[in-house]
Amino acid sequence: MPDTAAAATADVAAAADQGPGDTLRIVLLASIVGGVLLAWFLLRGYRTDGTDAPGGEDGTAGTGGNTGRDANA
């Protein structure tokens, strides 16, 4: 049994010397995911729907105006 305790102690000491690898991986992954979510949030306000275009996808003429947003103005 003393051999098992010594081996466990050596394993714990060796694991402590590995450095902050896992922590840095988590921080890096969270930063990337946060950057993507921030970009999506900021860029979704600049999206154009395609309903304001003079011609629709089906070949018919579009409304030509911003009727959906200015209906009550």
Q: Is the pTM of this model over 0.95?
A: no
pLDDT single digits (tens) 13-34 = 766 667 788 899 999 999 999 9
Q: What is the 3-state secondary structure (H, E, C) of 1-56?
A: CHHHHHHHHHHHHHHHCCCCHHHHHHHHHHHHHHHHHHHHHHHHHHCCCCCCCCEC
Tokens of 33: 């995911």
pLDDT of residue 45: 85
CB of 50 within 8 A of CB of 57?
Answer: yes
**56 three-class SS:** coil
**55 three-class SS:** strand
